[in-house]
A and B are shown apart, each in its own frame.
Chain A
Amino acid sequence: MPPEAASPVIEFRDVSYRVAGTQVLSGFNLQVESGETLVLLGRSGSGKTTSLKLVNRLLSPTSGEIRVKGVPNTEADVIRLRRSIGYVIQDVGLFPHFTIERNIGLVPKIEGWQAARIGARVQELLQMVGLAPEIASRYPHQLSGGQRQRVGVARALAADPEILLMDEPFGALDPLTRDELQREFLLLQQRLHKTVVFVTHDLREALRLGSRIALMEAGRLVTVLAPADFLRSTDPLASAYVRAFGEGLESAANRGTS
Protein backbone atom coordinates (compact mmCIF):
# COMPACT_ATOMS: atom_id res chain seq x y z
CA MET A 1 0.00 0.00 0.00
CA PRO A 2 1.68 3.25 -1.11
CA PRO A 3 1.61 5.97 1.54
CA GLU A 4 -0.54 8.96 0.74
CA ALA A 5 1.17 12.27 0.19
CA ALA A 6 -0.32 13.92 3.27
CA SER A 7 0.24 11.01 5.63
CA PRO A 8 2.24 11.69 8.78
CA VAL A 9 5.93 10.74 8.76
CA ILE A 10 5.65 8.97 12.09
CA GLU A 11 2.44 7.64 13.49
CA PHE A 12 1.81 5.87 16.79
CA ARG A 13 -1.35 3.78 16.60
CA ASP A 14 -2.74 2.72 19.93
CA VAL A 15 0.69 1.76 21.19
CA SER A 16 1.24 0.11 24.57
CA TYR A 17 4.50 -0.98 26.05
CA ARG A 18 4.86 -3.07 29.15
CA VAL A 19 8.05 -4.39 30.66
CA ALA A 20 8.50 -6.52 33.77
CA GLY A 21 4.92 -5.88 34.89
CA THR A 22 5.19 -2.11 34.53
CA GLN A 23 2.95 -0.33 32.07
CA VAL A 24 5.37 2.19 30.57
CA LEU A 25 3.12 3.35 27.77
CA SER A 26 -0.60 2.86 27.28
CA GLY A 27 -3.01 3.71 24.48
CA PHE A 28 -0.51 6.05 22.88
CA ASN A 29 -1.67 7.77 19.68
CA LEU A 30 0.38 10.47 18.03
CA GLN A 31 1.16 11.74 14.56
CA VAL A 32 4.32 13.57 13.62
CA GLU A 33 4.05 15.63 10.43
CA SER A 34 6.76 16.14 7.89
CA GLY A 35 9.27 18.88 8.72
CA GLU A 36 7.98 19.63 12.19
CA THR A 37 9.77 19.45 15.51
CA LEU A 38 7.52 17.55 17.83
CA VAL A 39 8.62 17.80 21.44
CA LEU A 40 7.76 15.05 23.89
CA LEU A 41 7.59 16.79 27.24
CA GLY A 42 7.18 15.05 30.55
CA ARG A 43 8.85 14.09 33.76
CA SER A 44 11.21 11.16 34.19
CA GLY A 45 9.40 7.87 33.73
CA SER A 46 6.54 9.36 31.74
CA GLY A 47 7.43 7.25 28.72
CA LYS A 48 9.14 9.84 26.50
CA THR A 49 12.32 7.90 25.85
CA THR A 50 10.39 4.68 25.43
CA SER A 51 8.24 6.27 22.71
CA LEU A 52 11.38 7.38 20.92
CA LYS A 53 13.00 3.96 21.06
CA LEU A 54 9.85 2.37 19.69
CA VAL A 55 10.30 4.36 16.49
CA ASN A 56 13.72 2.96 15.59
CA ARG A 57 12.85 -0.39 17.13
CA LEU A 58 15.32 -0.35 19.96
CA LEU A 59 12.13 -1.48 21.71
CA SER A 60 9.10 -3.32 20.38
CA PRO A 61 5.57 -2.38 21.47
CA THR A 62 3.50 -4.83 23.48
CA SER A 63 0.53 -3.89 21.33
CA GLY A 64 -0.29 -1.38 18.62
CA GLU A 65 1.95 -0.31 15.78
CA ILE A 66 4.25 2.49 14.76
CA ARG A 67 4.19 3.60 11.17
CA VAL A 68 7.15 5.34 9.59
CA LYS A 69 6.36 7.04 6.30
CA GLY A 70 3.05 5.23 6.23
CA VAL A 71 4.50 1.74 6.62
CA PRO A 72 4.50 -0.26 9.85
CA ASN A 73 8.10 -0.09 11.05
CA THR A 74 8.15 -3.83 11.63
CA GLU A 75 7.82 -4.37 7.88
CA ALA A 76 11.13 -2.69 7.08
CA ASP A 77 14.48 -4.35 7.73
CA VAL A 78 15.48 -3.11 11.18
CA ILE A 79 19.02 -2.16 10.14
CA ARG A 80 17.77 -0.22 7.09
CA LEU A 81 15.15 1.46 9.25
CA ARG A 82 17.71 2.62 11.81
CA ARG A 83 20.14 3.87 9.19
CA SER A 84 17.36 6.00 7.72
CA ILE A 85 16.67 7.64 11.10
CA GLY A 86 19.17 9.91 12.87
CA TYR A 87 19.48 9.23 16.58
CA VAL A 88 20.98 11.59 19.16
CA ILE A 89 21.12 10.75 22.88
CA GLN A 90 22.00 12.74 25.96
CA ASP A 91 25.17 10.76 26.65
CA VAL A 92 26.12 11.30 23.00
CA GLY A 93 27.69 7.84 22.80
CA LEU A 94 30.58 8.78 20.51
CA PHE A 95 32.92 5.88 19.84
CA PRO A 96 35.92 6.73 22.05
CA HIS A 97 38.37 4.76 19.89
CA PHE A 98 37.38 6.47 16.64
CA THR A 99 38.43 9.92 15.48
CA ILE A 100 35.67 12.47 15.02
CA GLU A 101 35.87 11.89 11.28
CA ARG A 102 35.32 8.14 11.70
CA ASN A 103 32.54 8.75 14.21
CA ILE A 104 30.64 11.01 11.85
CA GLY A 105 31.43 8.95 8.77
CA LEU A 106 30.54 5.55 10.20
CA VAL A 107 27.09 5.07 8.71
CA PRO A 108 28.17 6.39 5.29
CA LYS A 109 31.14 4.03 5.46
CA ILE A 110 29.13 0.92 6.26
CA GLU A 111 26.72 2.04 3.58
CA GLY A 112 29.65 1.75 1.18
CA TRP A 113 30.35 5.39 0.31
CA GLN A 114 33.69 6.25 -1.33
CA ALA A 115 36.33 7.62 1.05
CA ALA A 116 36.50 10.97 -0.73
CA ARG A 117 32.76 11.43 -0.52
CA ILE A 118 32.79 10.58 3.20
CA GLY A 119 35.59 13.07 3.84
CA ALA A 120 33.73 15.81 2.02
CA ARG A 121 30.50 14.99 3.86
CA VAL A 122 32.28 15.07 7.22
CA GLN A 123 33.70 18.51 6.48
CA GLU A 124 30.33 19.75 5.35
CA LEU A 125 28.69 18.46 8.54
CA LEU A 126 31.36 19.89 10.83
CA GLN A 127 30.77 23.28 9.28
CA MET A 128 27.01 22.82 9.56
CA VAL A 129 27.20 22.21 13.32
CA GLY A 130 29.72 24.98 13.85
CA LEU A 131 32.92 23.03 14.41
CA ALA A 132 36.38 23.74 13.00
CA PRO A 133 37.62 21.43 10.22
CA GLU A 134 40.71 20.33 12.19
CA ILE A 135 38.44 18.69 14.78
CA ALA A 136 38.04 15.80 12.32
CA SER A 137 41.32 14.17 13.34
CA ARG A 138 40.74 14.47 17.11
CA TYR A 139 39.33 11.90 19.48
CA PRO A 140 36.12 12.41 21.50
CA HIS A 141 37.95 12.75 24.84
CA GLN A 142 39.81 15.77 23.47
CA LEU A 143 36.56 17.68 22.98
CA SER A 144 34.34 19.66 25.35
CA GLY A 145 30.83 18.48 26.20
CA GLY A 146 29.27 21.00 23.83
CA GLN A 147 31.59 20.02 20.99
CA ARG A 148 30.87 16.35 21.58
CA GLN A 149 27.13 16.95 21.36
CA ARG A 150 27.62 18.88 18.12
CA VAL A 151 29.50 15.88 16.78
CA GLY A 152 26.62 13.69 17.95
CA VAL A 153 24.21 15.81 15.89
CA ALA A 154 26.56 15.76 12.89
CA ARG A 155 26.84 11.98 13.14
CA ALA A 156 23.06 11.61 13.21
CA LEU A 157 22.80 13.76 10.09
CA ALA A 158 25.60 11.97 8.23
CA ALA A 159 23.54 9.88 5.85
CA ASP A 160 20.99 12.69 5.46
CA PRO A 161 18.06 10.97 7.18
CA GLU A 162 14.62 12.43 6.84
CA ILE A 163 13.83 11.75 10.49
CA LEU A 164 15.80 12.75 13.57
CA LEU A 165 15.15 11.32 17.03
CA MET A 166 16.70 13.40 19.82
CA ASP A 167 16.64 12.18 23.40
CA GLU A 168 17.44 15.09 25.72
CA PRO A 169 20.43 15.95 23.54
CA PHE A 170 21.24 19.16 25.39
CA GLY A 171 20.27 17.97 28.87
CA ALA A 172 23.79 17.44 30.20
CA LEU A 173 25.22 20.74 28.99
CA ASP A 174 25.84 23.91 30.96
CA PRO A 175 23.19 26.64 30.46
CA LEU A 176 25.27 28.81 28.13
CA THR A 177 26.29 25.95 25.87
CA ARG A 178 22.75 24.63 25.90
CA ASP A 179 21.43 28.01 24.85
CA GLU A 180 23.96 28.14 22.04
CA LEU A 181 23.09 24.67 20.78
CA GLN A 182 19.38 25.33 20.98
CA ARG A 183 19.79 28.45 18.88
CA GLU A 184 21.88 26.60 16.34
CA PHE A 185 19.39 23.76 16.28
CA LEU A 186 16.68 26.24 15.27
CA LEU A 187 18.85 27.69 12.51
CA LEU A 188 19.76 24.22 11.30
CA GLN A 189 16.16 23.11 11.31
CA GLN A 190 15.15 26.19 9.26
CA ARG A 191 17.56 24.97 6.61
CA LEU A 192 17.06 21.22 6.76
CA HIS A 193 13.37 20.76 7.61
CA LYS A 194 13.90 17.34 9.14
CA THR A 195 11.07 15.61 10.87
CA VAL A 196 12.25 15.76 14.46
CA VAL A 197 11.00 14.07 17.61
CA PHE A 198 12.67 15.80 20.53
CA VAL A 199 12.49 14.53 24.10
CA THR A 200 12.96 16.91 27.00
CA HIS A 201 11.70 17.63 30.50
CA ASP A 202 12.57 21.29 30.17
CA LEU A 203 9.50 23.38 29.30
CA ARG A 204 11.64 26.32 28.23
CA GLU A 205 13.44 24.12 25.72
CA ALA A 206 10.15 22.63 24.54
CA LEU A 207 8.62 26.07 23.94
CA ARG A 208 11.67 27.30 22.17
CA LEU A 209 12.31 24.38 19.84
CA GLY A 210 8.98 22.68 19.32
CA SER A 211 6.44 23.34 16.61
CA ARG A 212 4.11 21.26 18.78
CA ILE A 213 4.46 19.98 22.31
CA ALA A 214 3.15 16.57 23.30
CA LEU A 215 2.72 16.49 27.05
CA MET A 216 3.10 13.08 28.64
CA GLU A 217 2.39 11.76 32.09
CA ALA A 218 2.61 8.22 33.46
CA GLY A 219 2.73 6.56 30.06
CA ARG A 220 -0.16 8.51 28.58
CA LEU A 221 -0.39 11.36 26.17
CA VAL A 222 -2.09 14.22 28.02
CA THR A 223 -2.37 16.78 25.26
CA VAL A 224 -0.66 18.10 22.13
CA LEU A 225 -0.37 21.87 21.88
CA ALA A 226 1.42 24.55 19.92
CA PRO A 227 3.91 26.46 22.15
CA ALA A 228 1.77 29.60 22.32
CA ASP A 229 -1.32 27.58 23.26
CA PHE A 230 0.62 25.69 25.89
CA LEU A 231 1.08 28.86 27.93
CA ARG A 232 -2.65 29.59 27.86
CA SER A 233 -3.74 26.01 28.39
CA THR A 234 -6.19 25.28 31.16
CA ASP A 235 -5.05 21.68 31.38
CA PRO A 236 -4.01 21.17 35.00
CA LEU A 237 -0.73 19.44 34.13
CA ALA A 238 0.20 21.99 31.46
CA SER A 239 -0.49 24.88 33.81
CA ALA A 240 1.45 23.13 36.57
CA TYR A 241 4.42 23.07 34.19
CA VAL A 242 3.98 26.72 33.33
CA ARG A 243 3.84 27.63 37.03
CA ALA A 244 6.90 25.53 37.83
CA PHE A 245 8.96 27.25 35.17
CA GLY A 246 7.80 30.69 36.19
CA GLU A 247 8.52 33.93 34.43
CA GLY A 248 9.98 34.63 31.05
CA LEU A 249 8.38 31.77 29.14
CA GLU A 250 6.73 34.04 26.55
CA SER A 251 10.05 35.01 25.13
CA ALA A 252 11.02 31.37 24.81
CA ALA A 253 7.81 30.63 22.97
CA ASN A 254 8.55 33.57 20.69
CA ARG A 255 11.64 31.68 19.63
CA GLY A 256 14.00 34.06 21.48
CA THR A 257 16.08 34.46 18.34
CA SER A 258 18.01 37.33 19.85
Chain B
Amino acid sequence: MNVFRFMLHNQHQVLQLTLEHLRLVGFSTLFAMLIGIPLGIGIAHRPRFNKLVLATANIIQTIPSLALFGFLLPVPWLGARADRLAILALTLYALLPIIRNTYTGIRGVDAAVVEAGRGMGLTESQLLFQVELPLAVSVILSGVRVAVVISVGLATIAAAIGAGGLGEFIFRGLAMVDDRVILAGAIPAALLALLADFGVGWLERRLQPR
Protein backbone atom coordinates (compact mmCIF):
# COMPACT_ATOMS: atom_id res chain seq x y z
CA MET B 1 0.00 0.00 0.00
CA ASN B 2 1.32 3.33 -1.07
CA VAL B 3 -0.20 5.27 1.79
CA PHE B 4 1.51 3.22 4.43
CA ARG B 5 4.82 3.32 2.63
CA PHE B 6 4.46 7.09 2.51
CA MET B 7 3.60 7.24 6.21
CA LEU B 8 6.48 4.97 7.13
CA HIS B 9 8.81 7.06 5.06
CA ASN B 10 7.63 10.22 6.81
CA GLN B 11 7.10 8.64 10.18
CA HIS B 12 8.75 11.46 12.11
CA GLN B 13 6.47 14.01 10.58
CA VAL B 14 3.40 11.81 11.07
CA LEU B 15 4.35 11.43 14.72
CA GLN B 16 5.03 15.13 15.16
CA LEU B 17 1.75 16.20 13.55
CA THR B 18 -0.15 13.60 15.56
CA LEU B 19 1.34 15.01 18.75
CA GLU B 20 0.45 18.53 17.67
CA HIS B 21 -3.04 17.33 16.95
CA LEU B 22 -3.32 15.71 20.36
CA ARG B 23 -2.11 18.92 21.96
CA LEU B 24 -4.80 20.96 20.23
CA VAL B 25 -7.52 18.50 21.18
CA GLY B 26 -6.21 17.91 24.69
CA PHE B 27 -5.95 21.55 25.71
CA SER B 28 -9.23 22.57 24.14
CA THR B 29 -11.11 19.67 25.77
CA LEU B 30 -9.52 20.49 29.11
CA PHE B 31 -10.51 24.14 28.86
CA ALA B 32 -14.00 23.27 27.66
CA MET B 33 -14.42 20.98 30.69
CA LEU B 34 -13.12 23.64 33.06
CA ILE B 35 -15.65 26.12 31.69
CA GLY B 36 -18.49 23.84 30.62
CA ILE B 37 -18.92 21.63 33.70
CA PRO B 38 -19.25 24.49 36.22
CA LEU B 39 -21.51 26.31 33.78
CA GLY B 40 -23.67 23.21 33.33
CA ILE B 41 -23.91 22.76 37.10
CA GLY B 42 -24.80 26.42 37.43
CA ILE B 43 -27.70 26.30 35.00
CA ALA B 44 -28.92 23.01 36.46
CA HIS B 45 -29.27 24.73 39.84
CA ARG B 46 -30.52 28.02 38.40
CA PRO B 47 -32.77 27.04 35.50
CA ARG B 48 -33.52 30.71 34.85
CA PHE B 49 -30.30 30.97 32.84
CA ASN B 50 -30.38 27.65 31.05
CA LYS B 51 -32.01 28.93 27.86
CA LEU B 52 -29.53 31.79 27.52
CA VAL B 53 -26.46 29.63 28.10
CA LEU B 54 -27.57 26.69 25.97
CA ALA B 55 -28.70 28.96 23.14
CA THR B 56 -25.36 30.75 23.13
CA ALA B 57 -23.45 27.48 23.03
CA ASN B 58 -25.78 26.32 20.27
CA ILE B 59 -25.15 29.40 18.17
CA ILE B 60 -21.38 28.99 18.52
CA GLN B 61 -21.80 25.44 17.30
CA THR B 62 -23.51 26.61 14.12
CA ILE B 63 -20.67 28.93 13.03
CA PRO B 64 -18.79 27.16 10.22
CA SER B 65 -15.42 26.15 11.59
CA LEU B 66 -13.33 27.64 8.82
CA ALA B 67 -15.17 30.94 9.28
CA LEU B 68 -14.58 30.90 13.04
CA PHE B 69 -10.86 30.26 12.60
CA GLY B 70 -10.62 33.09 10.08
CA PHE B 71 -12.80 35.34 12.19
CA LEU B 72 -10.50 35.00 15.19
CA LEU B 73 -7.30 35.67 13.23
CA PRO B 74 -7.30 39.48 13.62
CA VAL B 75 -7.72 39.22 17.42
CA PRO B 76 -4.52 40.65 18.96
CA TRP B 77 -2.26 38.36 21.04
CA LEU B 78 -4.39 35.38 20.05
CA GLY B 79 -3.95 35.91 16.35
CA ALA B 80 -0.18 36.06 16.82
CA ARG B 81 -0.04 32.36 17.64
CA ALA B 82 -2.14 30.16 15.40
CA ASP B 83 -2.17 27.26 17.89
CA ARG B 84 -3.62 29.42 20.69
CA LEU B 85 -6.27 30.57 18.33
CA ALA B 86 -7.08 27.04 17.25
CA ILE B 87 -7.33 25.94 20.87
CA LEU B 88 -9.75 28.78 21.58
CA ALA B 89 -11.94 27.91 18.61
CA LEU B 90 -11.94 24.21 19.47
CA THR B 91 -12.78 25.05 23.09
CA LEU B 92 -15.80 27.02 21.93
CA TYR B 93 -17.02 24.11 19.82
CA ALA B 94 -16.53 21.60 22.62
CA LEU B 95 -18.60 23.66 25.06
CA LEU B 96 -22.07 22.72 23.87
CA PRO B 97 -21.99 18.95 24.40
CA ILE B 98 -20.23 19.36 27.74
CA ILE B 99 -22.58 22.05 29.09
CA ARG B 100 -25.65 20.26 27.82
CA ASN B 101 -24.70 16.88 29.23
CA THR B 102 -23.67 18.33 32.59
CA TYR B 103 -27.02 20.11 32.76
CA THR B 104 -28.94 16.99 31.75
CA GLY B 105 -26.92 14.78 34.08
CA ILE B 106 -27.41 16.93 37.16
CA ARG B 107 -31.09 17.52 36.40
CA GLY B 108 -31.53 13.79 35.93
CA VAL B 109 -30.49 12.93 39.49
CA ASP B 110 -33.54 11.56 41.29
CA ALA B 111 -35.23 14.47 43.09
CA ALA B 112 -36.01 12.25 46.08
CA VAL B 113 -32.32 11.50 46.54
CA VAL B 114 -31.41 15.19 46.51
CA GLU B 115 -34.25 16.05 48.85
CA ALA B 116 -33.34 13.28 51.26
CA GLY B 117 -29.74 14.51 51.23
CA ARG B 118 -30.72 18.08 51.85
CA GLY B 119 -33.18 17.06 54.57
CA MET B 120 -30.46 15.04 56.30
CA GLY B 121 -28.34 18.15 56.56
CA LEU B 122 -25.83 17.84 53.74
CA THR B 123 -24.41 21.22 52.79
CA GLU B 124 -24.88 22.32 49.18
CA SER B 125 -21.28 21.44 48.35
CA GLN B 126 -21.53 18.03 50.02
CA LEU B 127 -24.69 17.47 48.02
CA LEU B 128 -22.89 18.43 44.81
CA PHE B 129 -19.67 16.50 45.27
CA GLN B 130 -20.98 13.43 47.09
CA VAL B 131 -24.36 12.99 45.45
CA GLU B 132 -25.07 14.97 42.29
CA LEU B 133 -21.72 14.77 40.51
CA PRO B 134 -21.07 11.06 41.19
CA LEU B 135 -24.57 10.25 39.93
CA ALA B 136 -24.22 12.47 36.85
CA VAL B 137 -20.63 11.58 35.99
CA SER B 138 -21.36 9.07 33.24
CA VAL B 139 -23.74 11.46 31.48
CA ILE B 140 -21.17 14.26 31.76
CA LEU B 141 -18.44 12.02 30.39
CA SER B 142 -20.54 11.01 27.43
CA GLY B 143 -20.72 14.74 26.63
CA VAL B 144 -16.94 14.94 26.92
CA ARG B 145 -16.67 11.98 24.59
CA VAL B 146 -18.77 13.69 21.94
CA ALA B 147 -16.70 16.87 22.41
CA VAL B 148 -13.41 15.01 21.95
CA VAL B 149 -14.54 13.22 18.83
CA ILE B 150 -15.80 16.47 17.31
CA SER B 151 -12.54 18.20 18.25
CA VAL B 152 -10.34 15.57 16.62
CA GLY B 153 -12.17 16.14 13.36
CA LEU B 154 -12.34 19.91 13.63
CA ALA B 155 -8.68 20.21 14.59
CA THR B 156 -7.70 19.10 11.10
CA ILE B 157 -9.12 22.41 9.85
CA ALA B 158 -6.82 24.30 12.22
CA ALA B 159 -4.02 23.59 9.76
CA ALA B 160 -5.69 26.08 7.41
CA ILE B 161 -4.59 28.90 9.71
CA GLY B 162 -1.18 27.35 10.32
CA ALA B 163 -1.88 25.79 13.70
CA GLY B 164 -0.37 22.46 12.69
CA GLY B 165 -1.79 19.06 13.39
CA LEU B 166 -2.74 16.29 11.03
CA GLY B 167 -4.66 18.75 8.86
CA GLU B 168 -1.29 19.80 7.43
CA PHE B 169 -1.11 16.55 5.48
CA ILE B 170 -4.70 16.86 4.37
CA PHE B 171 -4.34 20.39 3.05
CA ARG B 172 -0.96 19.63 1.48
CA GLY B 173 -2.39 16.54 -0.17
CA LEU B 174 -5.32 18.51 -1.50
CA ALA B 175 -2.96 21.09 -2.98
CA MET B 176 -0.74 18.41 -4.47
CA VAL B 177 -3.71 16.32 -5.60
CA ASP B 178 -2.07 13.37 -3.87
CA ASP B 179 -4.35 10.88 -2.09
CA ARG B 180 -1.45 9.35 -0.19
CA VAL B 181 -0.68 12.62 1.56
CA ILE B 182 -4.35 13.28 2.34
CA LEU B 183 -4.75 9.81 3.82
CA ALA B 184 -1.54 10.16 5.82
CA GLY B 185 -3.41 12.89 7.71
CA ALA B 186 -6.89 11.41 7.61
CA ILE B 187 -6.08 7.90 8.78
CA PRO B 188 -4.24 8.89 11.99
CA ALA B 189 -6.97 11.45 12.68
CA ALA B 190 -9.67 8.81 12.33
CA LEU B 191 -7.69 6.46 14.58
CA LEU B 192 -7.32 9.20 17.17
CA ALA B 193 -11.05 9.80 17.13
CA LEU B 194 -11.78 6.11 17.59
CA LEU B 195 -9.22 5.82 20.36
CA ALA B 196 -10.60 8.84 22.19
CA ASP B 197 -14.13 7.52 21.80
CA PHE B 198 -13.08 4.18 23.20
CA GLY B 199 -10.98 5.66 25.99
CA VAL B 200 -13.56 8.06 27.37
CA GLY B 201 -16.25 5.41 26.86
CA TRP B 202 -14.25 3.03 29.02
CA LEU B 203 -13.88 5.69 31.72
CA GLU B 204 -17.61 6.39 31.49
CA ARG B 205 -18.43 2.75 32.19
CA ARG B 206 -15.87 2.54 34.98
CA LEU B 207 -17.41 5.51 36.79
CA GLN B 208 -21.02 4.51 36.16
CA PRO B 209 -22.91 4.55 39.44
CA ARG B 210 -24.60 1.26 40.19
Contact = CB atoms under 8 A, between A and B. Distances in A.
Interface of A: 53, 56, 58, 79-84, 87, 89, 91-97, 106-107, 110, 139, 141, 152, 155-156, 165
Interface stretch (B28-36, B111-119, B191-199): B111-119
A141 B119 CA distance: 21
Contacts of B209: 96-97
Contacts of B161: none
B135 A92 contact: no
Given A79-B121, A96-B209, A139-B210, A87 B116 contact: yes
B113 A96 contact: yes
A38 B115 CA distance: 22
B210 A96 contact: yes
Contact of A91 (B112, B118, B131): B112
Contact of A107 (B112, B114, B120): B120
A255 to B, nearest CB: 29
A122 B114 CA distance: 22
Contacts of B126: 110
Given A82-B120, A94-B113, 16 more contacts: A53-B119, A58-B118, A58-B119, A79-B121, A83-B121, A91-B112, A93-B113, A93-B115, A93-B116, A95-B131, A96-B209, A97-B209, A107-B120, A107-B121, A110-B126, A156-B120
Interface of B: 110, 112-123, 126, 130-131, 134-135, 209-210
B119 A89 contact: yes
A36 to B, nearest CB: 21
A110 B131 contact: no
A94 B121 CA distance: 14
A88 to B, nearest CB: 9
B121 A97 contact: no
Contacts of A156: 120
B110 A96 contact: yes
Contact of A97 (B115, B120, B134): B134
Contacts of B113: 93-96
A242 to B, nearest CB: 32
A114 B113 CA distance: 25
Nearest to A97: B209
Contacts of A56: 119
Nearest to A141: B210
Contacts of B134: 97
A139 B208 CA distance: 14
A82 B131 contact: no
Contacts of B122: 79, 106, 110
29 contacts: A53-B119, A56-B119, A58-B118, A79-B122, A79-B123, A83-B121, A89-B115, A89-B119, A92-B112, A93-B110, A93-B114, A93-B115, A93-B116, A93-B117, A94-B116, A95-B113, A95-B130, A96-B110, A97-B134, A106-B122, A107-B120, A110-B121, A110-B122, A110-B126, A139-B210, A152-B116, A155-B120, A156-B120, A165-B119
Given A93-B113, A95-B113, A97-B134, A87 B119 contact: yes
